[in-house]
């Protein structure tokens, strides 16, 4: 019951602020949360390779920007850090492959354009099954509420399926229902997001005085996520 009252309060705060001319930019950094169970790898050489890959994955120069207003947002990797030929930075590869994400609050959907694709992939805000808790903390001067959810990763191409637990900290004071990397659906802007076993996004700068024009959604073919998975499998089988 308390969680329902908390959720209603957050929604009311968000609705009250939603009518304001809200716009701004958030800069995010990431922290390495990638982990693997060394005990499951018996080959010492492979185990050493994994350990070296993770130790080489620095996050100092990897950042993202989220531009938002009352109706939409755009999230993108911004640093042009090049890979060192002598090392492999898993975090940098992941950052570059997350794509450019365009969110629309009215339709409660996101469109993702991956670097290697010529199509936009549509997802829904509702897929994360958020549950808002009573925990709060201050991030960048804003009171944030903790929400927990999950992300189901499914790749039809090889029948890979995994559930990733999520922890988000969002602020109802910033009524944009979005966050980093296409996450959204909460009654406030997500300023911190942890993908368990992968990475944590955290806001390092929040500006409500941004005058930069937001990038428009490119004119590309749009596929629903389920159709995209079907498409990639067909391409994969065709090239076998």
Which tens digits make up the pLDDT trace of 205-236? 999 987 778 888 999 889 998 888 777 766 65
Residue-wise pLDDT for 68-81, tens only, equals 998 999 999 886 65
Domain boundaries, the chain: 2-238
- CA Rg value for the chain: 19
Residue 173: pLDDT band (50, 70, 90) is very high
Residue-wise pLDDT for 117-155, tens only, equals 788 999 988 889 999 999 999 999 999 999 999 988 765
C-beta of residue 94 within 8 angstroms of C-beta of residue 115 = no
Predicted structure pTM score: 0.78
Judged by phi (left if over 0) then psi (alpha if -120 to 50, else beta), residue 129 lies in: left
C-beta of residue 101 within 8 angstroms of C-beta of residue 76 = yes
Mean pLDDT on 15-33: 73
* 71 or 10, higher pLDDT: 71
């Amino acid at each position: 019951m308390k969680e329902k009252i908390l959720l209603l309060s957050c929604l009311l705060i968000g609705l009250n602020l939603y009518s304001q001319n809200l716009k701004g930019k958030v800069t995010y950094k990431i922290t390495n949360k990638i982990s693997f169970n060394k005990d499951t790898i018996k080959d010492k050489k492979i185990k050493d390779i994994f350990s070296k890959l993770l130790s080489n994955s620095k996050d100092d120069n990897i950042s993202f920007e989220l531009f938002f207003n009352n109706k939409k947002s755009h999230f993108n990797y911004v640093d042009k850090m090049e890979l060192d030929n002598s090392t492999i930075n898993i975090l940098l590869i992941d950052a570059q492959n997350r794509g450019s994400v365009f969110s629309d609050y009215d339709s409660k959907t996101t469109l993702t354009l991956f670097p290697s694709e010529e199509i936009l992939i549509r997802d829904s805000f509702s897929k994360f099954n958020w549950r808002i808790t009573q925990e709060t903390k201050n991030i960048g001067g804003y009171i944030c509420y903790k929400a927990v959810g999950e992300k189901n990763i499914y790749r039809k191409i090889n029948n890979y399926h995994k559930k990733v637990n999520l922890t988000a900290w969002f602020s109802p004071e910033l009524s944009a229902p979005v966050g980093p990397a296409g996450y959204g659906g909460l009654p406030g802007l997500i300023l911190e997001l942890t993908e368990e076993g992968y990475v944590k996004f955290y806001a390092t700068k929040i500006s409500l005085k941004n005058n930069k024009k937001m990038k428009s959604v490119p004119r590309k073919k749009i596929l629903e996520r389920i159709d995209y998975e079907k498409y990639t499998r067909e391409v994969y089988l065709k090239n076998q």
